[in-house]
Structure 1
Amino acid sequence: MTTASRVSKTFTPVYHAKKRKSKLIAKRGVAFSPRRHNRKPTPRTPWTGPAARLRKHPVQQGFQRTPLSRKFDPESSKMVLHQFDYIFAIGTIFAFLDAWNIGANDVANSWTTSVSSRSISYIQAMVLGSILEFAGAVGVGARVADTIRTKVVDVDQFEENPALLMVGMMCAILGSSLWLTFCTKVGLTVSTTHSIMGGVIGMGVALVGVNGITWADFSKGDISSGVVSVFLAWIIAPGLSAAFAIIIFLVTKYAVLLRSKPVLRGLMLVPVYFGITAALLVMLIVWKGGSINVNWMTNAQIAGIVVGAGAAWAILVAIFLVPWLYRIVVKDDWQLRWYHIALGPLLLRRPEPPIQPEGAKGGIRDFYEGHLTKEQMEELLTAERVRDEENTANEAKTASDAVSDNVRSDNDQPEGANAPADNFPQEKKIVGPKPEGPWYNSAVLFWYFKWLFLRGVDQDIVNLQHKRTFLSGDLAAIHSHVPHYDNKAEYLYTFVQIMTACTASFTHGANDVANAIAPYATIYQIWQSGALKGSKSEVPIWILCFGGAGIALGIWTYGYNIMKVLGNRLTLHSPSRGFAMELGAACTIILATRLKLPVSTTQCIAGATVGVGLCSGTWRSINWRVVTWIYMGWIVTLPVAALISGCICGIIINAPRWGYKGY
C-alpha cells in the first residue's frame, strides 16, 4: 500500500477551485498533495554527531517522526508522545528548580543595593520583589520564546527527530538547575543566562557534535549569537555599567553631596532625578518587556511617550513628594508617615513638630550607623594600642581589669562612632526562639509554620554581610576609606533608589523568566504535538505562571544567601551610591537591549558597584577578594553547566537497551 492510499483512508479530499494550482484539502484542514507524497523523499545530509546511531536503534521508535496524520493534526490527537511522559515530568521538576534558583541567585541583584544601603528593610524588599517578579513574568512575559534562546544550536538539525530535542532540553535544564543550586548554596553569584547557555551547549555537543554548535556568527551583525557572546559579556557588561554609574554618582557628588547646603540642593534636584529615572525605566520596560510589542510605533512616538512619562512623573513628584521630604529633612517632622505624601502642598501648613521622645518611631535613620571613617578608625586603633601596652605593663590584673580588657567601654570609642564596626544594631526577629513544649503544642506548631514560611525573610542582611569569612577580609578598614556624606541628603535618594529597584525587578521577571521556561516550553510543545514548530516555541500562560511562581518562591525563601555576599561586602553602600549603581546598571541594560549586546544583570550590577566604589573613595575601598570570587563564578559557569548537561545527555542516548547490542 502506497503512502497516498494509506493517507486517503484517513483524509477525504475536496477540490478547491479558487486556487491557481489545484490542491487537495483534508476535511480536518490539512493540505495534501498526492504528487508530493508519491515522489521519492529528498535525501538529507546525514548527521555526524553521536545521535546519528539512534536511527539504527530497534527500540528507538519514539525518536522517529510521528506519522503525518498525527503530526499535523493536533486537534484530533493531544499529548501524542505519551511514551515520553517521564521526560516531561523530569523537565517540569527541574524547570521549577531552575526558576527557583533564578529567584534565589539572580533576583538578589535587583535589591542588594537597596537593602545594603538601608533604604528599605529586607522583608519589604522581598515582598516587593516577589510580587513584581511574578507580575512581570505573567503580565508581560514573552508569549513566544526562542526554542534555543541563546542561539548556539540550530534547531533545524532536530527536524527529523524532534523528540531528541526534547531529551536534549531536559538535560540542558538539568545541567543549569544543578549548577545554579550549588552556586546558590555556596554564595556564588552567577549569570543564569550563561548557565542555561552552558546546558544547551553541552547537550548540543552530545547530540550533534562540536561542529553543530554556533561558536561565533557575525554574518548578520548580531553579536548576541554564538558562544563568543559570553566572553564579550565579561567585558561589555561590567565596563558599561561602571562607566554609567560613575557618571551618575560624580554628578550627584559634586552637584549635591559636597555643596555647602546639600539638603536644599538635593530637594531642588529631586524632581529632575525622578523624571530622568522614570523616562529611562519606561524605555527599559518598552524595549525589554517581554511581550510588549512597539514595532507598530515610530521612533518619534516612542520618544514622545518616554519624555512625556518622565515629565509627568517629575511634576507629580514636585507637587506631592517634595513637600513631604521638606517636612522630613528640614523641619524634622518625625510624626509624618508615608501615607501623608498624598496631602502634597497642604503639608507646608502643618505646625512645627514637637521634640521627638526617646524611643519614638519616625525620623531619619543613620545610614552610616556602625561604619567608621578613616579618622575614627585611626583613633580607635591608637586607643587599642595604648590600652594593650598598659595591660602588658601591669602583671597583676584584677577581675575588673580583665573584664575591661575584653569589653570596650563607650569612653574608648572615638567621638562620632555610633557602634563598633562588628556590632551593628540587631533587627527584630519575626520567627523568634522556639517555644518549649511537645511538637503538637499549638504554640510549637505555629512556630514551625512561621519558620517554614518566614525564615527566608527573617534575616538581618547588614549584619550577615559584616560577618568575618575568608571573603570578607577586614571590612572595617575597607569601609573606612569611603567618605561619609550628609545623612539627610542621603535620605533624599532612598525613594528614587527603591523605584529603580522595583522597575528592574519587574523587567527582570518579564525578560529573564525565559531562561527557565523557554526550554521547558519546547519540551511541552514537542510532548504535546510531536512536532517541532521552527525556531520559536509558544509559551502558554500557565507556564509563565509556573516560572513566575518559582522565581517568587526562590527570592522569598533563599534570596538572603546571595545578598549577604554582595552589598557592603563589596564596598560601603549608602542611598546616593546605591541609586547610582542601580541606575547605571539600568542604563547598560537599556543600551544593550537596543544594540543587541549580550549582557547579564548580574554582571551589570557588579560592574556598577565597583565603579561607584572607586570614584567615591580609593582603590582600597573595594574588597577585591569578592570581585575575584564573582569573576570566578562567571568564568566557570558555562563550562561546568555544559559538562553536566553533556554528560547526562551522552549517557542517556548511548545507554544499552533491551534488544540492542551497542558493541
Structure 2
Amino acid sequence: MDSYKKPTLDKDLDKLSYMEEAAGSLGKGLVSTGLALLFVVLCGVVAGAYMFDMPGGAVIVAAAVIGAYMALNIGANDVANNVGPAVGSRAMSLVSALVIAAVFESAGALIAGGDVVGTISKGIIDPAAVSDPAIFTAAMMAALVSSALWINLATWVGAPVSTTHSIVGGVMGAGIAAAGISAVNWGTMSGIAASWVISPLLGGIIAAAFLAFIKTFIIYQDDKIAAARRWVPVLISVMAGVFAAYLAMKGLKKIIKIDLQTALMIGGAIALVTWTLARPLIARQSVGLENRNQSLRKLFGIPLVCSAALLSFAHGANDVANAVGPLAAIVHTAEFGDVASKVTIPLWVMAVGALGISFGLLLFGPKLINMVGQQITKLNPMRAYCVALSAAITVIIASALGLPVSSTHIAVGAVFGVGFFREWYTERSGRRFEYVSVKNGGKVSKVRPVRNREEQARRKLVRRAHFLTIVAAWVVTVPAAAALSGLLYFGLVRIIG
C-alpha cells in the first residue's frame, strides 16, 4: 500500500501548481478589469475634449463614462447570443469567434445603428412630460446607471438577461419617477413588449424550419454528400442575400436612399452570385468525404462562420441603442437646451457604444457562452447554423422596423426552437423512423421511442431547468431595473438640478 502513496515532494509540487493556476486566473481577471477601466476613462476624456466648453460639459462627461460602462456590460452579457452556438458546436474556436464578433459588432453599430437609437431615447418617454432639460438628463442618467448595474450583476452570477429589457425598464422607471405614469409612451411600450414575446417565438420557428429543411433534404438522404453539394450553397446564398438586402437598405442610406423593393433585388443578385461561387467551393470540400453525418458538419463550417458574422453585425446595429440611446439624448439636450427636437447621433457617441460592446465581449464575454452554446441543448454545426441564421434574420427585421428587441430572447428562442424540434422529430418523424429502421430478413421494423416515463424524461433534448431559469430572469429584469432607476433618479436630479 505504501507504494501507492504520493511522495511528499509531489504533493508540495501539486500545491504549488494549484497556487500558480489560481494566481494566473486572478491575474487575468485583474488585467481585464484594468483594461475595461482604462476604456471607460478614455471615453470620459474624449467626451471632455468634445464638450469641454459647453455649459453641461461635466454632465456629458459623466454620461459618457456611464454609457461606456453600459456598453462593456452589453458585450459581456450578450456575446453568448452571437458566438455561443458556433463555439458550443466546436465549429469555431473561442478566440476566432470573439475576434469575428468584435469586428462585425463594431461595423453593425457604426453603419446601421442609428434608427433604433431614436426609438430607445425618445420613444419611451414623452418629451413634453419631461420638458425641463435637467429633469430629462437626470432621468436618462438614472436609466443608464440602473441598467448597467443590473446587467453587471447578472453577468457576475452567470445569467444571460436581456440588456434591452434592462435599459427599457430603466428608462420607464426614471420617467415614472420624474413625471408620473403619464410620462411613459404606453403605445410604444406595448409595441416593444409585444416584440419581446413575438421575437423569441419567431426566432424559434425560423430555426426549426431551417433544421427541418436540413434534415429532410440533406441528413436523411441516401447520398448525404450529393445532397449537401446541392443544398449547402443554397443556404449560404440565402444568408448572403439577407445580409446584402439589409445593408443596402440601412447601411447605405447616408450615401443613397434605397427602397425596400430595390434592396430585395440587390439581395437577390448577391444571393445568385454567392450561390455560383459556393457551388464549386462546397464541391471541392466534399471530395473524399464519407457518406455520414460527421462529414456533413465539415461542410457547414463556412456557413456557420458567415452566419455568426451576420448575427454580430445585426446585434451591433440593434443593441448599440441600449448603450448610447440615453447618452445621445443627454448630449443633444446639453448641446441644444431642448428635449423635444429630433436627436442627432454624434460619431463619438456611436463609437463609445460600438467599441464598448466589442471590448466587453473580448474581455468578459466567454463566461456566458456555455449557457447558450452548450447547456440548453446539444448543438452541432448544422444546428448552430440554424440558430445563428434565424437569430440574424429576426434581429435584422426588428432593426429595420426600429424596434429595440432583445437579441437574448431571439437567440435563446432559436436554441429552444432547435431543441424542441429535435425532440418532436426524434419521437414522431416517419421519415426518421424509415431511415433508421433495421432490416431483418427482408422485413423493415421501425425503431420505436422509449416508453418508460423516467427514461423519456432523462432523454429530453432540452434542459427544462435552464428554460425556467432564463424565463424567470427575463421576467425579473424589467421591474428590477425600473425600480432601481426610479430610486437613482431622485438622487441624480438633486445633483444635476
Q: What TM-score, normalized to structure 2?
A: 0.77
1:241 aligns with 2:241: no
* Residue 590 of structure 1, CA deviation: 4.0
Larger radius of gyration: 1
Query: Aligned residue for 1:297?
Result: 258
Q: Which one of 77, 85, 88 corresponds to residue 116 of structure 1?
A: 88
Q: Which one of 264, 271, 284 corresponds to residue 310 of structure 1?
A: 271
* Residue 268 of structure 1, CA deviation: 2.0
- Given that residues 144 and 537 in structure 1 are in contact (C-alpha distance below 8 angstroms), is that contact kept between their aligned partners in structure 2? no
- Given that residues 142 and 291 in structure 1 are in contact (C-alpha distance below 8 angstroms), is that contact kept between their aligned partners in structure 2? no
Question: Equivalent residue of 1:564, what SS?
Answer: helix
1:172 aligns with 2:12: no
Query: Aligned residue for 1:559?
Result: 365
* Residue 546 of structure 1, CA deviation: 1.7
Q: Distance in 2 between matches of 1:85 and 1:591?
A: 37
- Given that residues 121 and 328 in structure 2 are in contact (C-alpha distance below 8 angstroms), is that contact kept between their aligned partners in structure 1? no
Deviations 1:412-449 (A, max 9, x none): xxxxxxxxxxxxxxxxxxxxxxxxxxxxxxxxxxxxxx
Q: Distance in 2 between matches of 1:195 and 1:110?
A: 19
- Given that residues 290 and 511 in structure 1 are in contact (C-alpha distance below 8 angstroms), is that contact kept between their aligned partners in structure 2? no
- Given that residues 175 and 645 in structure 1 are in contact (C-alpha distance below 8 angstroms), is that contact kept between their aligned partners in structure 2? yes
Q: Distance in 1 between matches of 2:331 and 2:496?
A: 26
Query: Aligned residue for 1:641?
Result: 481
Query: Aligned residue for 2:104?
Result: 132
Q: Distance in 2 between matches of 1:299 and 1:134?
A: 24
* Residue 184 of structure 1, CA deviation: 1.1
Closer, same or farther in 2 for the Cα pair 1:143/1:214, shift >3 Å?
closer
| RMSD of aligned Cα (Å) | 2.7
Letter in 2 for 1:546: V
Question: Equivalent residue of 1:128, what SS?
Answer: helix
Closer, same or farther in 2 for the Cα pair 1:145/1:607, shift >3 Å?
closer
Deviations 1:426-475 (A, max 9, x none): xxxxxxxxxxxxxxxxxxxxxxxxxxxxxxxxxxxxxxxxxxxxxxxxxx
Q: Distance in 1 between matches of 2:346 and 2:496?
A: 36
Closer, same or farther in 2 for the Cα pair 1:142/1:192, shift >3 Å?
same
Structure-to-structure mapping, 1:595-610, within 5 angstroms = 599-610=405-416
Query: Aligned residue for 1:487?
Result: 294
Deviations 1:321-354 (A, max 9, x none): 22431346369xxxxxxxxxxxxxxxxxxxxxxx
Deviations 1:93-128 (A, max 9, x none): 211111001111123201110010011100000111
Q: Distance in 1 between matches of 2:91 and 2:116?
A: 37
Query: Aligned residue for 2:11?
Result: none
Query: Aligned residue for 1:498?
Result: 305
Q: Distance in 2 between matches of 1:142 and 1:330?
A: 48
Letter in 2 for 1:486: N
Query: Aligned residue for 1:95?
Result: 67
- Given that residues 140 and 290 in structure 1 are in contact (C-alpha distance below 8 angstroms), is that contact kept between their aligned partners in structure 2? yes
- Given that residues 318 and 395 in structure 2 are in contact (C-alpha distance below 8 angstroms), is that contact kept between their aligned partners in structure 1? no
Query: Aligned residue for 2:285?
Result: 325
Question: Equivalent residue of 1:193, what SS?
Answer: helix
Closer, same or farther in 2 for the Cα pair 1:649/1:598, shift >3 Å?
closer
More moved, 174-183 vs 485-494: 485-494
Deviations 1:597-634 (A, max 9, x none): 66321111111111111222358110111111111121
Closer, same or farther in 2 for the Cα pair 1:295/1:212, shift >3 Å?
farther
Q: Which one of 244, 248, 252 corresponds to residue 282 of structure 1?
A: 244
Closer, same or farther in 2 for the Cα pair 1:295/1:595, shift >3 Å?
farther
Query: Aligned residue for 1:373?
Result: none
Query: Aligned residue for 1:271?
Result: 233
Question: Equivalent residue of 2:420, what SS?
Answer: helix
Query: Aligned residue for 1:194?
Result: 165
Q: Distance in 2 between matches of 1:206 and 1:103?
A: 29
**Structure 2 unmatched ranges of 5 or more:** 1-50, 425-456
Q: Distance in 2 between matches of 1:294 and 1:85?
A: 32
Closer, same or farther in 2 for the Cα pair 1:116/1:328, shift >3 Å?
farther
Letter in 2 for 1:233: S
Deviations 1:559-583 (A, max 9, x none): 1111122221000000111111122
Q: Distance in 2 between matches of 1:212 and 1:163?
A: 15
Closer, same or farther in 2 for the Cα pair 1:234/1:523, shift >3 Å?
closer
Question: Equivalent residue of 2:286, what SS?
Answer: helix
* Residue 528 of structure 1, CA deviation: 3.1
- Given that residues 79 and 528 in structure 1 are in contact (C-alpha distance below 8 angstroms), is that contact kept between their aligned partners in structure 2? no
Q: What TM-score, normalized to structure 1?
A: 0.58
* Residue 145 of structure 1, CA deviation: 3.8
Q: Distance in 2 between matches of 1:311 and 1:596?
A: 29
Query: Aligned residue for 2:14?
Result: none
Question: Equivalent residue of 1:107, what SS?
Answer: helix
Closer, same or farther in 2 for the Cα pair 1:127/1:296, shift >3 Å?
closer
- Given that residues 152 and 213 in structure 1 are in contact (C-alpha distance below 8 angstroms), is that contact kept between their aligned partners in structure 2? yes
* Residue 589 of structure 1, CA deviation: 2.8
Letter in 2 for 1:88: I
Letter in 2 for 1:94: I
Structure-to-structure mapping, 1:574-585, within 5 angstroms = 574-585=380-391
- Given that residues 318 and 404 in structure 2 are in contact (C-alpha distance below 8 angstroms), is that contact kept between their aligned partners in structure 1? no
* Residue 312 of structure 1, CA deviation: 0.7
* Residue 311 of structure 1, CA deviation: 0.3
Deviations 1:221-268 (A, max 9, x none): xxxx12x34542342112111111111101100111112221221122
Question: Equivalent residue of 2:343, what SS?
Answer: strand
Aligned length: 414
**Structure 1 unmatched ranges of 5 or more:** 1-77, 218-224, 332-484, 658-663
Query: Aligned residue for 2:395?
Result: 589
Closer, same or farther in 2 for the Cα pair 1:144/1:264, shift >3 Å?
closer
- Given that residues 130 and 178 in structure 2 are in contact (C-alpha distance below 8 angstroms), is that contact kept between their aligned partners in structure 1? no
Closer, same or farther in 2 for the Cα pair 1:548/1:653, shift >3 Å?
closer
Deviations 1:533-558 (A, max 9, x none): 51x32111122222211111101011
Letter in 2 for 1:633: A
Q: Which one of 150, 156, 160 corresponds to residue 128 of structure 2?
A: 156
Letter in 1 for 2:367: N
Q: Distance in 1 between matches of 2:320 and 2:116?
A: 12
- Given that residues 144 and 538 in structure 1 are in contact (C-alpha distance below 8 angstroms), is that contact kept between their aligned partners in structure 2? no
- Given that residues 116 and 404 in structure 2 are in contact (C-alpha distance below 8 angstroms), is that contact kept between their aligned partners in structure 1? no
* Residue 80 of structure 1, CA deviation: 6.8
Q: Which one of 470, 481, 485 corresponds to residue 630 of structure 1?
A: 470
- Given that residues 286 and 294 in structure 1 are in contact (C-alpha distance below 8 angstroms), is that contact kept between their aligned partners in structure 2? no
Q: Which one of 199, 203, 221 corresponds to residue 259 of structure 1?
A: 221
Structure-to-structure mapping, 1:146-545, within 5 angstroms = 146=118, 148-149=120-121, 151-159=123-131, 161-215=132-186, 217=187, 225-226=188-189, 228-286=190-248, 289=250, 292=253, 296-319=257-280, 321-327=281-287, 329=289, 486-532=293-339, 534=341, 536-545=342-351
Letter in 2 for 1:153: I
Q: Distance in 1 between matches of 2:60 and 2:260?
A: 43
Q: Distance in 2 between matches of 1:250 and 1:292?
A: 36
Q: Distance in 2 between matches of 1:206 and 1:486?
A: 57
Letter in 1 for 2:184: I
* Residue 148 of structure 1, CA deviation: 4.6
* Residue 594 of structure 1, CA deviation: 5.3
Letter in 1 for 2:477: T
Letter in 2 for 1:152: I
